[in-house]
Amino acid sequence: MKQTFLIISLFLLLLSCDNKTSNNILVSNNTELQEAIEKAKPGNEIVLKNGVWKDVEIKFIGEGTKQNPIKLSAETASKVFIEGVSSLEISGNYLEVSGLFFRNGHSPKTNVIAFRTSKSKVANHSKVTNCVILDYNNLERDQDNLWVQFYGKHNTLENCYIAGKTNGGPTVRVDLKGNQSIRNYHKIINNHFGPRPRKGGARGETIQLGSSFTSMSPSNTLIANNLFEECNGEVEIISSKTNFNIIKNNVFYRSEGSVVTRHGNYVKVDGNYFIGDGVNDQYGGIRIINTGHWVTNNLFYKIKGKNFRSPIAIMNGIPKSPLNRYNQVTDVVVAYNTFVDSDSPFQFGVGQNLAQKDVLPKSEIRSARPLRTEVVNNVIYNSKGDANPIIEHDKADGVTFKSNVIDNNGVAFSKRVGLISKELTLTDIGSNIAVPIAGFDDVEPYNGFDFETITEDLIGKSRSKSNQIGALLNSENIKLNLLDKTKYGADWYSNEVEEKEGEIHFVNKADEFVTKLQQAKSGDFISLNDGTYLVPKSLAINKSITIQSKGKAEIIFNGEKDTPLFSLQPYGKLTLRNIKLKGNNNNYAFSTLKKNMSNHFGLEVIDSEISHFNYALRVYKQAFSEEIIFKNSSILNCENGLELSEETNDRGDYNTEYLTIDSCTFNSVKQNVVDYYRGGYDESTIGGNLLVTNSTFTNCGAKEKNKMLLNHRGIVNVNINNNTFKNNKVQFVSILWGAKNNVESSNTLMNSGKIKTEENLKQKLMY
């Protein structure tokens, strides 16, 4: 009997294995894939064979069930690469995609992954999991697209790693166009959103929930347990533009932006960690607009963001605002949050712009102050005192401010009812974070309407028995590991890269220089021995490279007219040290590509000399560098200097985030001495940074049509200090934008016009 039972059991086991195997359909090309999709039934798993799948437009359509979804997966996660001009669209019910790696290409559509295959065919109850999208950018920065676009209902993006988007458009967007996508209950959970570089303009969000014109619709989207690392695209990391969303238990690590309730109402922002470095004043927190939001149990650690990026920014609205602008803040709760070494945590009336009423239409004036807003039960600790923990850009007379505590380490600040001074101590809670969790037990928490629904603290401990103010209840042995990247994203991918010391290649001759530059790896050094190097054709810079000498090497470029000595290409970051560059008066020292700058470039020129070029630097439209530096260098006898002014779409775009000119000499540069432009009235970006310091400008600007030496119209942050301007045939050295952060000091002007400040420069409206 036992032998018979054993035989039957073995037969059933083999039968079940056979059934499982028969459900898997291995495909090796696009034709087989499409045939498998057409024939797929509930429980089937279509398996993409390991290797590169190039130029594939996958339409994954099927009808699975909750118990037996249809799956599309990699044979081995990490070994199926979607490359070239490729995309993935999903429609139907209960579909799952896993293990794919999108790289080395771009989408032919407006999205890389879409939860629909047409306007009427959407996905429901479907999932994209354990996938990676890396640097999958369109060829031009202005070719906006989305990497993941949600439609339908009950769809999930989970355990994915997504990073490197440089072109316009949010990385992920939830769309609500059509009843089939409203009240969608989508989930964006457990993902690792890796670095999104600064975009240099608007349209650089990491996640956008809806749009201005669907902002009255309920979305009910959950964004939870994600790591946002260096998401620096623009001022909004998450832009919530719909109703009833939940943003919970996420970590925002060194990200230059904020969670923003941009449009829509009734968003819950609870239990999130905002972690800065105590230095960078672009790392932000939560910016509040519209009605009914609850901001609770959040921790802000060393957040130094200002104004729009302040830890808590409660904005002024526009009276009778249109859908795409700023509605008044009403009926908002900001409670049980903790701030450690974060500057001016509470800023009220942010965006108040009455001073600009002469250059803006009435419909743009943000004068509607917050109403019926409660800021209560919060804790502030400053190891170095903050003289202005509360900033009122406009009167906060519609704000209830009670049961808040501050330890300002003895530094005086403006007293306010509802802010109690205490001496507190910090407790280590892991992840190199220390917070106050005791010392305010005697402060009675403010109990507002529905406050009984705030049932837990930041780490999920119940508030029912021993409630107290602040994000964390008094507890022992809290050991968080927030930055353990294995907790987020695809389980087969890590963005940790071991730093390797670059190799030094010594060069004696011009042909050897060209060869070594081509062969060098990213991070290497090309060291030129003393002598002259005649270069007849442009040199491509498409990796990080340093070209240096001991100070007696000269590169003479006799290339064709309007071609650059150094062609700055995507991923190319050039550092030039102790080199003389000389042109033929018709060519360029440095320039970007005219087209297809799909990723950023970088340039640093130190202790060098640039002479006899048509352009010292020419940056074409849609090219972008996070930083351009000229230090201890000379630009002599050039027709044009540094030209970064082709972003004329007036949508807030510009060519570099930081342009630094330090201890340099400009002599006989005829025009475009420094030309750095950003057009459009837009507050959603850092807005560009220009520093000109300790430099000398002599006999420059003779051909400047507008008679201005330093052109930087629309750049928000400008600092011109300790420079000498001598015999420059211009009317103005600079016209500064007084309402923004444009300043000058300690400059010497001799026969060079003047520096003028205009409080309000008229800008074209973008909206």
Instruction: Tell me the residue type at 327.
Output: N
Chain-centre distance for alpha carbon 156 = 22
The average pLDDT across 17-46 equals: 87
Q: Identify the H or E element spanning 343.
A: none
Residue spans in the chain of domains classed CATH 2.160.20.10: 505-758
- Main-chain phi, psi angles of 452, to 5 degrees: -65, -15
Chain mean pLDDT for the chain: 94
- Band (761; pLDDT cuts 50, 70, 90): confident
Q: Give the per-residue pLDDT at 5.
A: 47
Q: Give the per-residue pLDDT at 3.
A: 52
Q: Give the per-residue pLDDT at 650.
A: 87
pLDDT of 358 above 70:
yes
Q: Is the dihedral of CA 572, 573, 576, 577 positive or negative?
A: negative
Rounded percentage of the chain residues whose pLDDT exceeds 90: 87
DSSP string of 380-434, one letter each residue: EE-SS--S-SEEESS--TTEEEESEEEE-TT------TTEEE-----EEEETTEE
39 SS3 class: helix
- Band (766; pLDDT cuts 50, 70, 90): low
CB within 8 Å of 181: residues ≥ 6 apart: 122, 150, 151, 152, 153, 175
Q: Give the per-residue pLDDT at 470.
A: 98
pLDDT of 21 above 90:
no
Query: Do 645 and 616 touch, CB atoms closer than 8 A?
Result: no
Q: Give the per-residue pLDDT at 199.
A: 92
Segment 397-428, tens digit of pLDDT: 999 999 999 999 999 998 889 999 999 999 99
Q: Which contacts qualify for 421-425: CB closer than 8 Å, 24 or more apart?
A: 424/379, 424/381
Query: Do 660 and 629 touch, CB atoms closer than 8 A?
Result: yes
- From the CB of residue 78, how many other CB atoms can be counted at a distance below 10 Å? 16
- What topology is assigned to 505-758 in CATH? Pectate Lyase C-like (2.160.20)
User: What ranges make up the beta strands (E) of 515-664?
Assistant: 524-528, 531-535, 539-541, 544-557, 564-568, 573-582, 588-592, 601-606, 609-611, 615-618, 625-631, 634-644, 656-662
Between residues 4 and 502, which one has the greater pLDDT? Answer: 502
Query: Do 603 and 568 touch, CB atoms closer than 8 A?
Result: yes
Q: Give the per-residue pLDDT at 16.
A: 42
The DSSP letter of residue 318 is -
Closest CA to 195 of 160, 228, 146, 230: 230
- Band (13; pLDDT cuts 50, 70, 90): very low
The average pLDDT across 284-297 equals: 97
- Band (14; pLDDT cuts 50, 70, 90): very low
Segment 473-508, tens digit of pLDDT: 998 889 999 999 999 999 999 999 888 899 999 999
Q: Give the per-residue pLDDT at 640.
A: 98
Instruction: Output the CA–CA distances (angstroms, integers) from residue 17 to 11, 12, 14, 49, 676, in the order listed.
Output: 10, 9, 5, 21, 66
Query: Do 537 and 515 touch, CB atoms closer than 8 A?
Result: no
The DSSP letter of residue 702 is T
Q: Is the pTM of this model over 0.85?
A: yes
Query: Do 425 and 401 touch, CB atoms closer than 8 A?
Result: no
The average pLDDT across 180-188 equals: 97
Q: Give the per-residue pLDDT at 464.
A: 93
Q: What whole-number distance in Å separates Cα of residue 127 and Cα of residue 130?
A: 10
Q: What whole-number distance in Å separates Cα of residue 133 and Cα of residue 165?
A: 9
Segment 337-348, tens digit of pLDDT: 999 999 999 999
Q: Give the per-residue pLDDT at 6.
A: 46
Query: Do 622 and 596 touch, CB atoms closer than 8 A?
Result: no
The average pLDDT across 606-624 equals: 98
Helices (H) and strands (E) in the chain, counts: 3, 67
pLDDT of 743 above 80:
yes
Q: Give the per-residue pLDDT at 15.
A: 42
Segment 439-475, tens digit of pLDDT: 999 999 999 999 999 999 999 999 998 899 999 999 8
Closest CA to 62 of 117, 101, 103: 117
